[in-house]
Amino acid sequence: MLVRYFIPPIFFIGIIYLLGSLPVTFFSFIFPFLQGKEYIFIFVLFIISLKFWSKKRWNQEKIWLDLGFTEFRDNIKNPIFKRELYKSFLIILFWSLILILRGYITFKNSSDYVFLLDILFTAVFVGVAEELLFRVWLFEELKLFFNKSNTILIESLIFSLAHPYNSDESLIVNFLMKIGLLLLGTYLSLLRVNNYPNIFPSIAFHGGIVGFIFLAKSVFVIERNYPYLIYGNQYENFINPISGFLGLFTLLILNIYQIKVLNNPKN
């Protein structure tokens, strides 16, 4: 059982990571712009390998069709996709308005419009890459030997722990961040289950949250000290909302709703 269930996925991820890192390892001295870009090659290799893996490992013959990518236009027009994207926007908008009204952030004198392209790339890449890795690959692997509830819990816990510990911050800040990531991972997992097998609702919310936070960062500046326990800790000259009590409460409410949908799918 150990060989069948645990060794293959560990071997798979190890090989993907090793082979994906090789172009940067061997060619970064010739092409300096490749430095730090390992994640792009790793992701591309992961995408190429996922169809083969899903067929052999999960008996899913048409993984990209099941996930919704072959019907891309229809899925981004889907009301559920739009709802999750709008929801992420309203959450960050409401959070930003509170910070503005309290005088903790103000508008920058100028905006870096080139940065908007980076925002779009980051939102799409993080939304797609992390959802395929955690809510698809890891989720399906855990489903092989855990029930639905345990799969959601374990996958969300791994999602939280996979994000690095910030040694520059206090224990309480890191603890709140891990709780926020756990709640975010749980919500995204519940979205996947409630819209199974389509992954687009999870991508919409995840990519939206990341993108709109970076958008807020591009137009706002922190003016003075603020209660970080309420609004979230400072991260890269801005504020990460999921590590504050306001963000945690929002994610908790979202999870409660999705749990109700899971238990009462007809309602």
Whether 64 is covered by a domain: the verdict is no
- Note down the domain range covering 38: 1-57
Whether 129 is covered by a domain: the verdict is yes
b/e burial code for range 89-119 (CB count within 10 A of at least 16 → b): eebbeebbeebeeeebbeeeeeeeeeeeeeb
pLDDT in tens, 206-240: 999 999 999 999 889 998 899 999 999 988 788 99
Whole-structure pTM over 0.85, yes or no?
Answer: yes
Whether 63 is covered by a domain: the verdict is no
Average pLDDT over residues 63-87: 96
Say if residue 207 is in the same domain as residue 77: yes
pLDDT in tens, 161-209: 999 888 888 899 999 999 999 999 999 999 999 999 999 999 999 999 9
> Can you tell me whether residue 227 is helix, strand or coil?
coil
pLDDT at 73 exceeding the cut of 90: yes
Instruction: Specify the residue for token string 């308005």.
Output: 97
Say if residue 14 is in the same domain as residue 124: no
Whether 137 is covered by a domain: the verdict is yes
Say if residue 84 is in the same domain as residue 146: yes
Please report which confidence band the pLDDT of residue 36 belongs to, taking 50, 70 and 90 as the band edges: confident
Whether 16 is covered by a domain: the verdict is yes
pLDDT in tens, 106-159: 998 876 666 777 888 889 999 999 999 999 999 999 999 899 999 999 999 999
Say if residue 22 is in the same domain as residue 142: no
Domains of the chain: total: 2
* Dihedral of alpha carbons 7, 13, 16, 20, sign: negative
Whether 62 is covered by a domain: the verdict is no
Measured from the Cβ of residue 168, the count of other Cβ atoms closer than 10 Å reads 7
Average pLDDT over residues 41-69: 95
Say if residue 27 is in the same domain as residue 107: no
